[in-house]
Homo-oligomer: A and B are copies of this chain.
Amino acid sequence: MAASQSRFDPKFTEHVLSIIGPNTPPRTRTVMSALIRHIHDFAREVELTTEEWMMGVHFINSLGQISDSKRNETHRICDVIGLESLVDEIAHKHALETEEVPTSSSILGPFWSPNAPWRNLGDSIIQDPHQGQVSLFRGKVLDLVTGKGISNAVVDIWQASSNGKYDFQDPENQTDNNLRGKFKTDEDGNYWFYCLKPTAYSLPTDGPAGVLLNLLDRHAWRPAHIHMMISHGDYKPVTTQLYPDDDPNLETDTVFAVKDDLIIHFDPLEGDSNAELKLEYNFKLAPKGKPPVERAQL
């Protein structure tokens, strides 16, 4: 609880904040003061014990100790407590501030690669053997305002293989850029390619994220999903994830990234020897430079 309402020294937090020096930039002062105040309020509210605090200290130290260039455990912990998803919501609201609602954004996650290869419309992103179901994925990238197709929009897709692992987590079974690709929409804004129906996977639980999930009596499963990043120079980009509607963990996604308009349905596909399923999804992008609506109207 706030210092003023608690039975502890009502001036303590004020004192800690008062010694932030004059050369701290205003935004830094705002952010750090709020962070310190919330940490203090938390400690007073639950009357945090020395033992609980020390458990937290050891836990935080353990995050950096297991992290390396391929593993970012603090990022993962933020996902598990919903912080990345919340920051994404805030960023999305800032970026758009319009009355109309484009395709929901969702978190980037740690598995995007800047090196995904360009592929041709109609290609497959599947390079290696798998146990999954091949799907034809098609749709349009649309202008949110006019509803017309956007040509030359970039459709960047990445997904885990049927064993739940991304290429760089799984060098024994997957070649570089397996299940990754960038496509450009045709003159009417259409895209189409082959990918896998995605497979659910668990966050790694051999580190602090596993400790936290266990402490909270929660499962570690992400619903099956396809990562997408849609962009075009004249529009605000969208990073998102699409979730098959038959996944049992849509309501309890361990990183809280599912939104209703991102749930998709796969149908059987007839007459295509390359794939057994099909999926259609249209993305809506907001034009850049549209005047923002006043916050009070939102």
Contacts and interface: CB of A to CB of B under 8 A. Distances in A.
Most buried by B among A7, A8, A38, A62: A38
A192 interface: no
Contact of A64 (B8, B43, B61): B61
Interface residues of A, number: 71
9 contacts: A13-B82, A16-B82, A21-B218, A38-B41, A47-B90, A49-B94, A53-B83, A60-B64, A64-B67
A99 B62 CA distance: 41
Nearest to A3: B86
A48 B31 contact: yes
Interface in A65-92: 65-67, 72-75, 78, 81-91
| Copies of this chain, whole number | 2
Contacts of A73: 61
Contacts of A118: none
A102 to B, nearest CB: 17
A271 B35 CA distance: 54
A90 B30 CA distance: 26
Interface of A: 7-9, 12-13, 15-16, 19-24, 28, 30-32, 34-36, 38-50, 52-53, 57-58, 60-67, 72-75, 78, 81-91, 93-94, 215-218, 252, 256, 295, 298
Given A20-B217, A57-B74, 19 more contacts: A8-B89, A9-B89, A12-B89, A15-B256, A16-B81, A16-B256, A19-B216, A20-B218, A21-B217, A23-B217, A24-B215, A28-B215, A35-B42, A40-B82, A48-B90, A57-B78, A61-B64, A63-B64, A64-B66
